[in-house]
Amino acid sequence: MDLPVLMKQFAEASGFPVYAVLPEGSFTSISHSRNDLGLFRALLASLPINLPPVWTFLTPEGIMGGGLYVPEYKTTLIIAPVFSFECTLQTARRLSHRLSLPDTAAARLQQTLNQYTPCDMKKLQHYLAFLNHFLNDQPSCEITMLDFHWSSSYRTEFQPASPLSITEGPDLEADIIQLIRGGKEKELIRYFNENLFIYDSQHRMNNVRQQRRYLIGANMLLSRLAIQSGVDRDLINSIVDTYGIRIETIVSQEDFNHIFLEFCLRYTRLIAQLHLHDSPSLPVRRLERYIQAHLYEPITLASISEALGYSKSYLASEYKKVTGETVTQYIQEAKIREASLLLSNHRMQVREVSEALGFSDPSYFVKVYRKHTGRTPGQIT
């Protein structure tokens, strides 16, 4: 998988604007095309010509950005513009004046900038360190904070380039995406068995670094697919982080295959649950998605009621009327499904799973687990 594909997936998963500055000085947007009315060009023109390997900057208006050089591709990747919070109309007006735009452009600029995911400087530095480790194989790096000053004019050597070519992936990727989008767990397992879990598969990768790059890119892409399907963003981000750590541990094609299947199944099950419980009742849909997003916390009808703004009695009666079960039953079922995944895939101890999912004590967790599955957590293989 080449750099444009990887960074496009990173941009889609993170929600950040990502640009590539090519060796000849031209630049192109890797993220979704969003017209920032020339702001990125102005930022780029204000940066030093000779940039350090990894760097960040902060403008007087509170715009953040950062970048790194990727020697293998002779390309500088830049994440910008980024705000810690939403861009206000006042800030947008200041930027419009900076770009010599009329006041009428401020609202449009504000709307464009607020489509990006908010990010503070610490998190931005974390992402840059991750990308440097991932793309340049450097576990640690020094991130230089640039002294930013707006340039009075754009440097003419920076010109928009044609979009970077993105090599179409094999049919394997399109087939897997289609199965995950449809929530088809059994078909996905069969597809892996027939296409990856065979010795002479055409998709085998013998280079561990290539395997890790592919998995990180796939994890980003599929997490974005899950979010677009309606799965809670916070839950997906926690899953992405979990598998990001596990991907670093792979040492063989078999590790690659099994971790790949594991997180594909995880996203498939979450999407399938949405299809299964896609109630016409808005309060019920909101309740179920709140529970899915807070599985690792103690959840009660009272806490849900407070978060969603409905009374406890209304939520309880509406959920019972629509689904035929109580809210407590659904909370327990959702937590036990998650517990089964943790016990089978992560080899966690019963006590660890009980604490992670917010049960009051391990014995109560075992009791609830047996009630919903007919077996004890210790019987999971």
Same domain? For 339 and 358 the reply is yes
Same domain? For 38 and 136 the reply is yes
For residue 369, the domain's CATH number is 1.10.10.60
* 66 pLDDT higher than 90: yes
Average pLDDT, the chain: 81
What is the domain range of residue 335? Answer: 278-381
HEC states along 156-193?
CCCCECCCCCCCCCCHHHHHHHHHHHCCCHHHHHHHHH
* pLDDT tens by residue, 242-297: 888 888 888 887 788 888 888 898 888 888 877 665 556 778 888 887 887 788 88
Residue 159 within a domain:
no
Please name the residue that has the structure tokens 């990768």: 205
What does the alpha-carbon distance between residue 298 and residue 10 come to, in Å, rounded to a whole number? 32
Of 90 and 346, more confident: 90
Q: Domain ends where: 276, 292, 310?
A: 276
Same domain? For 132 and 36 the reply is yes
* pLDDT tens by residue, 2-46: 787 788 888 887 888 899 888 776 788 887 656 677 888 889 888
What does the alpha-carbon distance between residue 55 and residue 37 come to, in Å, rounded to a whole number? 24
Mean pLDDT for the stretch of residues 310-322: 89
Same domain? For 10 and 94 the reply is yes
Of 197 and 36, more confident: 36
DSSP string for residues in 104-156:
GGHHHHHHHHTTSPP--HHHHHHHHHHHHHHHH--S----EE------SS--T
How many Cβ atoms from other residues are within 10 Å of residue 55's Cβ?
A: 21
Q: Domain ends where: 222, 253, 276?
A: 276
User: What was the pLDDT predicted at 346?
Assistant: 54
Same domain? For 120 and 31 the reply is yes
Residue 150 within a domain:
no
Is residue 21 a contact partner of residue 32, using CB atoms and an 8 Å limit? Answer: no
Share of the chain above pLDDT 70, in %: 86
Residue 337 within a domain:
yes
Mean pLDDT for the stretch of residues 123-143: 90
Same domain? For 356 and 369 the reply is yes
Residue 154 within a domain:
no
Number of domains in the chain: 3
Closest CA to 21 of 74, 82, 80, 99: 74
- Residues in a beta bridge with 18: 79
Same domain? For 32 and 104 the reply is yes
Same domain? For 332 and 235 the reply is no
Same domain? For 130 and 29 the reply is yes
Same domain? For 126 and 226 the reply is no
Same domain? For 241 and 182 the reply is yes
Residue 155 within a domain:
no
